[in-house]
Amino acid sequence: MQDFSEEDKLIESIKNEKDIMNKVRLLTQLTKTREVKVKDIAQKLGVKSSYVCHLLRLNRLPEAIIDGYYSGNITLSHLFVISRLKDANQMIGAYEKVLADSLTVKSTEEVVRDILYGIKTEGDYISPQEKENFIQQITSLKKNLNLKIIQTRIKSKIILEIRGNLEKTSKEVRDLMKRFEMW
C-alpha cells in the first residue's frame, strides 16, 4: 500500500509542477525507479500516452539546449521537435540552426525532417479537387473498388481496396494491373 501512496504523491507532484524539466524528472522517476507504465501514468494524469512519451524524450536533450530553453532562446515546442532527433550532435546542430536563423517551430520541424529522412519540404499538396477527380476516375473502373489517397510531407500513398472473395479479388487485381501497364 505504501508504494501506491508514493506513486499517487508523485502523480500529484507532476500535475502541480510548473517547471517542465522537473516534470520530466518526476516522470522518469515513476517510469524507471517505480516501473510504472507510460499508459498508466497518462491515464492518472488525464493526458495521452504520446504526450508522456514526448515529455520523457526531453531527457535525451543535451544540457546546452535545455539551457537555451531556460534562457528564452527557444520554446518548449522547439524542444519537443529537436528531441525527435536520435543523436546529440544532430540535436546541437539543429539547435544552432534555430538560433542562427531564428527559426519558427514549423521551420524547425522541416530541419528535423530533413535530418531524419533526408527529405526537404518542397512543392504543394495535390488539391482536393485533383484528388477527388482521380478517385472518381479509378473507382469508375470497377464497382467494388475503393481508393484512398494519403499525402504527407515525406510520402504519399494510394490505397486500392477491392471487396469480394479471393477468386473475385484476384481476378480484379490482375485486371487492374493490366490496365496500369497500358498507362
Tens of pLDDT, residues 114-163: 898 887 667 788 899 999 998 888 888 777 888 899 988 778 898 988 88
Q: What is the CATH number of the domain that holds 77?
A: 1.10.10.2830
> Does residue 102 form part of some domain?
yes
Name the DSSP letter for residue 71.
Answer: T
Domain limit, last residue, from 117, 136, 154? 117
This prediction has a pTM of 0.68
Q: Is residue 20 part of a domain?
A: yes
122 lies in some domain: no
Q: How many CA atoms lie within 13 A of 17 on its CB side?
A: 16
Q: Are residues 169 and 143 in the same domain?
A: yes
- Residues 68, 93, single domain; the answer is yes
pLDDT, one tens digit per residue, over 35-69 is 788 999 999 999 999 999 999 999 999 999 999 99
Q: Could you tell me if 142 and 87 lie in one domain?
A: no
Res 117: pLDDT: 83
Domain with 170, as residue range(s), is: 128-182
Of the residues 63, 96, 117, the one at which a domain ends: 117
Domain count within the chain: 2
Residue 123, in any domain of the structure: no
The verdict on 111 and 132 lying in the same domain is no
Tell me whether residue 84 is in a domain: yes
What is the per-residue burial (b if ≥16 Cβ within 10 Å, else e) of 43-67? ebbeeeeeebebbbbbeebeeebbe
